[in-house]
Each structure stands twice: as structure tokens, then as C-alpha cells.
């Protein structure tokens, strides 16, 4: 179980430290292998233009979930990081499935284990994360985070799928991990 101290550091550092942590929901468990940081002064961040009904959870206590709906089809899952009111979060972009893989396959309607959680919308579907999880504390409860294992070598690069702030190297992943999204990513 993660504690408050885990989040008492800069968001970019938390984004790195979340790699190797486990996300748990019911019988399903996945190891975080890819993250992206979104800072308060970052034009790509939902919090950039201030608090609204949609992004309110992002301004909540560190360690809470920020879930939002995008592209008419998908949800994305973030972990709030900065102190309350600041508006920073880490987008969870990929998991390595560890437990409950059969259930993940059913929810995703796919058999290929590599395709279950290798993208932000995919892992939300596989882990059955819903809007009702928005604003909930991830240090306790049914959807929660567990402390990191040794994650291997971490590398960073530009973020994916955004138009603003592209140049910022705020994407982090475990080098060589097969479950990272955009698997063509070269080993560095």
C-alpha cells in the first residue's frame, strides 16, 4: 500500500517512482510500466486553464484518482500528485498484466496478452476502471496502488498523442518492457 510520503516529491519524480508499482482492482493486478507527467504550467495539461467540473479531481489530494472520458469512446486513468489545489497528475499509459488475465481478456474481447493493457484506454477497460473511481483515494479502497518492485532501467522521452508541449520529455517507461504502448519504441 502506498503512503502519503510517496507523493511528497515533485511530480516528475513520482512519475518515475510509479513505474514498477502495482495497480489492483479486485482479482486483477497489473504492474505499471509506462507513465506521463502533466504539470500545472504545462499547456498540454487539463489543469492548465484552471479548475472546471471535468478536471476537479486533478486539483484534489495527492494519491487520488483522476478519471476522464475522451474521444467519445475511452477513459483515461491518472494519479493526482501535487499538493491539493495545484493540479498535477501522472497518466498511467501501460501495465504489464500479472493477475486476473482471463478476466482482462474477456473485458477487452482480445486474446493477445500484449494487447490487454498497452495503452491508457486499454488498461482502463482491462482493469474495469469507471468514472465512479474518479476522486477516490488510491492508497486504500478497491482500486489501489501497491508499492513498487524493482522496475529495471527507466528511460524518458517525449509524450504521445498531444499537440501542445510535445517537446517535454515527460514520458517514462521501463526500458525493453514488452508491455509498453507503441512497442516499436526503441531500446535506449
Q: 125 by DSSP, 3-state: which?
A: helix
Residues 115-174 interacting with DNA (rule: CB under 7 A): 115, 119-123, 159-163
Tell me how far apart the alpha carbons of residues 157 and 95 are, in angstroms, rounded to a whole number.
18
What is the distance, to the nearest Å, from the Cα of residue 4 to the centroid of all Cα atoms in its chain? 18
Sole binder of DNA in the list 12, 34, 36, 82 (CB under 7 A): 36
- For residue 114, state whether it binds DNA (rule: CB under 7 A): no
Tell me how far apart the alpha carbons of residues 185 and 188 are, in angstroms, rounded to a whole number.
9
- For residue 112, state whether it binds DNA (rule: CB under 7 A): no
150 vs 186, which CB is nearer to DNA? 186
- For residue 184, state whether it binds DNA (rule: CB under 7 A): yes
Closest CB 10 distance from DNA, rounded Å: 16
- 111-115: which pairs have CB atoms within 8 A and are 24 or more residues apart? 114/178, 114/179, 114/183
2 vs 104, which CB is nearer to DNA? 104
Task: Give phi and psi for 97, each to the nearest 5.
Answer: -65, 130
Tell me how far apart the alpha carbons of residues 51 and 71 are, in angstroms, rounded to a whole number.
21
- For residue 175, state whether it binds DNA (rule: CB under 7 A): no
Sole binder of DNA in the list 53, 111, 150, 187 (CB under 7 A): 53
Q: How far is CA 119 from CA 65, 73, 76, 186, in A?
A: 17, 14, 9, 17
- For residue 89, state whether it binds DNA (rule: CB under 7 A): yes
- For residue 74, state whether it binds DNA (rule: CB under 7 A): yes
The binding site for DNA (CB under 7 A) comprises 36, 38, 44-47, 49, 52-55, 58, 66, 69-74, 76, 78, 89, 91, 108, 110, 115, 119-123, 159-163, 181, 184
Amino acid at each position: 500500500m502506498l503512503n502519503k510520503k510517496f507523493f511528497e516529491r515533485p511530480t516528475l519524480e513520482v512519475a518515475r517512482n510509479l513505474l514498477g508499482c502495482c495497480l489492483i482492482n479486485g482479482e486483477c493486478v497489473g504492474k505499471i510500466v509506462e507513465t506521463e507527467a502533466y504539470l500545472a504550467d504545462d499547456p498540454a495539461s487539463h489543469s492548465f486553464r484552471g479548475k472546471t467540473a471535468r478536471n476537479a479531481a486533478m486539483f484534489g489530494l495527492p494519491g487520488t484518482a483522476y478519471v476522464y472520458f475522451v474521444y467519445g469512446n475511452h477513459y483515461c486513468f491518472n494519479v493526482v500528485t501535487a499538493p491539493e489545489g495545484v493540479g498535477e497528475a501522472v497518466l498511467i499509459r501501460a501495465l504489464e498484466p500479472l493477475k486476473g488475465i482471463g478476466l482482462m481478456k474477456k473485458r477487452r474481447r482480445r486474446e493477445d496478452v500484449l494487447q490487454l493493457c498497452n495503452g491508457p484506454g486499454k488498461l482502463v477497460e482491462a482493469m474495469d476502471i469507471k468514472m465512479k473511481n474518479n476522486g477516490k483515494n488510491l492508497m486504500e479502497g478497491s482500486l489501489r496502488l501497491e508499492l513498487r518492485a524493482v522496475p529495471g532501467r527507466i528511460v524518458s522521452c517525449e509524450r504521445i498523442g498531444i499537440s501542445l508541449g510535445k517537446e517535454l520529455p515527460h514520458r517514462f517507461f521501463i526500458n525493453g518492457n514488452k508491455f509498453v504502448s507503441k512497442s516499436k519504441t526503441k531500446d535506449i
